[in-house]
Structure formats: C-alpha cells, structure tokens
Amino acid sequence: MSKPATNLISYRKTGELQMDSPPAEQHYTQSRTLSANRGAGEEERSTFYPDLGVKDGERSPERAALLTPRDKALLAVGGDGELPTVAIVPDTRYGEAPVDRLGFVYMIMLIHGLGTLLPWNVIISSFFYWHYKLDTKLASNGTQSQDVPDTGSFMNYMTLCNQFPNVVLNGLNLIVTFSGSLSLRIVAGISVIILVMVETLILATMNSADWISSFVIITLVSIVLLGTANGIYQNSLYGLAASFPPKYTNAVIIGNNLCGTLVALMGIMSIAVYPNEQHKAGVLYFACAVAILVIAFATYFLLPKSRFYRYYVTSVPVTSPKKVTVGGGYRSRLADLGLVLSQIRLQCWNIFFTFFVTLSVFPGVMLDVKQSKFSFMADQPEYFIPVVAILNFALFAFLGNLIPFACTSPGPKYVWIPVLLRVFFIPFFLFCNYQPFGRERLTASWFGNDLDIIYALGGMLLAVTSGYFSSLTMMFASSNVKDPRLTPIAGQLAGFFLVLGIFCGLMFSRIYPFLITRPATATATDDEPLPTPLAELMTTTLSSVADIVKNAVTAR
C-alpha cells in the first residue's frame, strides 16, 4: 500500500501526536487534540470539535477555522491548502472508565473541599478569641495606650487581607502559565496554608498583651500569605475536580459547606466548654484546623493509587499550560480561556451571582441581626447567633448541596432565573432587626420583636438555595465543555468566578450599614474603643520598630 502524499497524524486520547515526517519537522506541539473514545456499543467518534467532521482517512479542508495560521502552516503540504490525512487511532490502554471503589476519590475531593475553607472559617469565626487578644487591659504594665483596632475593624482588615490576594491569585492561576502541574500547585498551596496555621496556633499559645500592635501586624501578614496560598490551592483543586465527572466538583462544594457546619459546631462546643477562656477556645480551633489540613495533605498522595484517578488524569492531561499549548505563550492560553468562557459564560455568571448574594448577606448582615426580647431563644441569648445564624446556615447549605443528586431542575438553560430571584434575600434580611454595632436603624424593622422565627426560616431558605444552586451551576460549568482536555480550565474558571463572587459580596456588604442605619448617639465605651485606621496602625508599629533598632544601635 503506497504511502499517502501527506503526513500521517495519529490523534490519541492522551493528546500525543505522531508524525512520520523527518525529525526536523517534529517540533509541532499538540494543542488541538482530536480524541477518539470507543465504548461498548458505540461507534468510533470524535469528542473534540465534533462539528469539524473529520473521519478516519478523510482529508479535512481548510475551512477548519479552529486551527491558527501557524497550525495550518505546519500541517499543510504541497501548497494545496489542505490538511494532512487524519487517522483516528483509539487508545485502548485505558479501556472503559474504572469505578471509583468505595467512593475513594470522591471522599478525598470532599476532604480537600473542606480544607480549602477551613482555615479562613476558623479564623473569621473566632470573634471572641480576637477580642481577647486585642484587649489592652491585659498588659502586664496596666497601660491601655497601645494603638490597636477594635475587634470589628480588625475582622474587616483580615477579610480584606485574605480575600483580595485570593481573588488575584485565582486570576493569575488562570492566565499566567506557571510551571508545574495542578497537582504540584495543590501540594505547594496546602503546604503554605499548614505553615501559616501552625504559626497562628503558636501565637494563640503566647501572651501577646504587651505587644498587641506587633501581634496585629504579624497576624495580618499571615492572613495575606494564607489568602495567596489558598487562591492557588482552591483554583487548582477546582481544575483537578473538573477532570472527573461533574459530581466530583460537587464533592468540593459539599466539603466547603460541611466545613461551615463543622466550624459552627466547634464554636458552640467552645462556648459550652470554655465560656470565659477565649484563648483556649482559639487554641482548640486552630489545632483542629491544623490536624484536618494535615489529613488532607496526606490523603492527596493516596490519589495515584486509585485506577479511577489515574484513568482520568492520564486521559485528560492535568499539566502546565506550557506543555499543552501551541507556541507555549499567553496568546494560546488566552485563546483556550476564551473558547471555554464562550461555552460556559452563563454558568460563570450564575456562579458569581449565587455567591455574591449569599456572601453579601451571610455573615455580614445575618450576624448583626439582634435577638428580640420575645425570641424563642430568649433564655439562652449566647446561643442565638451560633445556632440560629451560623449552624442553621451551614447545615442547610450542606443539605442544599445534596439535592442535585436527586434533582437538577431547572437545567443549565434556565437556572439563571431562580439565581437572579435570590437578590430579594438582601432587602429581606436588611428589614429584619439588623443593627450593626455602634449604629441605629433609620426605620423600624419589619421582622423584629417576636418574629425571630421568620429570620430563622429566611436563613434556612437562603442556605438551601445557596447550596443547591452553587452545586448545580458548578456541575453545569464543567459538563458544558465539549473538549475533555479543556475541562480543567473550565473548573478553574468556575473557581475564579466563585471566589470573585465571594469577594464582591463581602465588600458590597460594607455598604448596607450606610443605607439603613446611622451612627448611634451613644459614645463608644472603654470596652469597645473607636476604630484605628490601618494605615495609622502600621505607621505606629513601624515607628516603634525603628525606635527599638535605633536604641539597640546607640547602646552598642
């Protein structure tokens, strides 16, 4: 049989490309894979750009606009403008997709979903611990002259320091072609997170009453590192989960909300066990977080032992963009991002808006809703926020994550409608008995007095819809991509819009106090000092450090 005039190209499921051209011409880097999957009873077909219509032994005309001019220049022969003969070669090394035995990979994805949010949830939920650490009355010299922020302002600083680098690194992880695989980035990210949490645990065991300003700066720097590492870890984890069937992306979301339930239960237990020892509660919080992160770190190295895992990460390369893009540059990476975004842009909007609405209400607004005198928990006010707000939300969000296993209505085309309608949760909670510290309402609350039960039911509905639509839209995003090679990018894009929604929601919630409340007429008490601007705090601390260095040099 005579050899075809054109180069013979074998497209394999693994993305390999073989050419029988001279070695000098074998510099072409496979980017646009034409994979072939053959299952039981199915005829051989292309799963990458199926509309291209390339069949075994057929010559594809130049109308294949999906290839760049450089691709065509490398592939075209004889000056006739036609692409070479294509031979679709099924790769039988993998066969049928194996079963995830005992849900091994699923459970590890769930554990890492819990690990991505656990450190931040633990830190932001330790309000009483931070209040204790910022108490200037505990200084050994009895002075209260240290310039430190009040607890509320400090929590706002921590939120900004964590979420901003998280968003930035999620975005960079999409665009910049970092060297190394997604697996390497996951391991590096979780390693840094563990180190930061260990450092936070050590600080919790130390008496920082005499150096609170330095403690604040050290903590905020640690939070920046935590947000940076978590941005890489979380985005890469969603990219990896998207390589598997859609329910594995949902496993990460379930882990996220299971984390909230776990932290809420820890908070309630700490109140019961250490009602007057906030520093011990903080140590318990951080120790549990470190232990769970170490478990997540260890389980990640068990994944390659699963045939299910090896099948999917081998058939869909989870590698650096430098290794899978034509030209290896940003242009090709952006082209892939643009292609994926064009296929899942509606789901990206749904993901963003779901988390925007949720995080603009919880925790900022819901935790500032005051308990009424006739509340159904009036005899136990210390448990109102931990139970009715935090545990209630976390538990029902987790239950909402489970609904997609039984129901996926209204489907990817119309899910934007209920997602958009969730915006009415914002005015609902603002017209509950919402009273931020140091402010008073401009109007009477609609659901105050003896209507705390309506607030609780509203929290349940917010949580269920948040869990359900976050899982549904994340699953739709990864399943809507036609090319299996691009599903990791779809997962990363979905993860980016998730984090962007969280950040925008948290920042937008800072506007609500100015819409419906005004500064209270009462002056601040000694227990709640007036906020200290962050810039002033940093300047004071740096000046103190400079004075210490200057005195040390003078002493010599």
Residue type, position 226, single letter:
L
Of 86-100, 283-297, 405-419, which range is least confident? 86-100
Residue type, position 531, single letter:
P
Q: What percent of the chain has pLDDT over 90?
A: 24
pLDDT confidence bin for 266, thresholds 50/70/90:
confident
Q: Tens digits of per-residue pLDDT, 493-527? A: 998 999 899 999 988 988 888 888 888 775 444 44
pLDDT confidence bin for 536, thresholds 50/70/90:
very low
Check residues 11 and 446 and name the one with the higher pLDDT: 446
Examine the pLDDT at 332 and tell me if it is beyond 90.
Answer: no
Residue 139: both structure tokens together:
């200084």
Q: H or E element: which one contains 519?
A: strand 517-519
pLDDT confidence bin for 478, thresholds 50/70/90:
confident
Q: What is the pLDDT of residue 179?
A: 52
Examine the pLDDT at 57 and tell me if it is beyond 50.
Answer: no
Q: What is the pLDDT of residue 313?
A: 81
Q: What is the pLDDT of residue 9?
A: 35
Q: Tens digits of per-residue pLDDT, 348-384? A: 999 999 999 999 998 888 888 888 765 666 667 777 8
Check residues 281 and 221 and name the one with the higher pLDDT: 221
Q: H or E element: which one contains 228?
A: helix 212-241
Helices (H), 301-441: 307-315, 330-361, 392-402, 416-421, 425-430
Assess contact for 251 and 108: CB atoms under 8 A.
Answer: no
The beta-strand segments (E) located in 216-322 are: none
Q: Tens digits of per-residue pLDDT, 118-136? A: 888 888 877 778 888 887 6
Check residues 144 and 346 and name the one with the higher pLDDT: 346
Assess contact for 197 and 227: CB atoms under 8 A.
Answer: no
Q: Which domains are seen in the chain, by residue range?
A: 1-96 (no CATH), 101-519 (1.20.1250.20)
Q: Tens digits of per-residue pLDDT, 135-192? A: 767 665 555 545 677 777 788 788 889 889 989 888 887 887 555 578 888 999 999 9
Average pLDDT estimate for 210-231: 91
Q: What is the pLDDT of residue 14?
A: 34
Q: What is the pLDDT of residue 337?
A: 87
Of 58-62, 97-101, 175-179, 515-519, which range is least confident? 58-62
Examine the pLDDT at 60 and tell me if it is beyond 70.
Answer: no
Residue type, position 510, single letter:
R
Of 21-35, 174-188, 252-266, which range is least confident? 21-35
262: left (phi > 0), else alpha (psi -120 to 50), else beta? Answer: alpha
Residue 439 three-state SS: strand
pLDDT confidence bin for 448, thresholds 50/70/90:
low
Q: What is the pLDDT of residue 105?
A: 94
Q: Tens digits of per-residue pLDDT, 8-27? A: 333 333 333 333 333 333 33
**Separation in Å, CA 359 to CA 105, 368, 504:** 29, 14, 8
pLDDT confidence bin for 69, thresholds 50/70/90:
very low
Other CB atoms within 10 A of residue 409 CB: 11
Cα angle: 289, vertex 290, 291; to 5 degrees: 90
Assess contact for 510 and 361: CB atoms under 8 A.
Answer: no
pLDDT confidence bin for 549, thresholds 50/70/90:
very low
Other CB atoms within 10 A of residue 50 CB: 12
pTM greater than 0.95 (yes/no) = no
| Average pLDDT over the chain, rounded to an integer | 73
Q: Residue 459: which of 514, 385, 404 has the closest Cα?
A: 385
Assess contact for 357 and 64: CB atoms under 8 A.
Answer: no
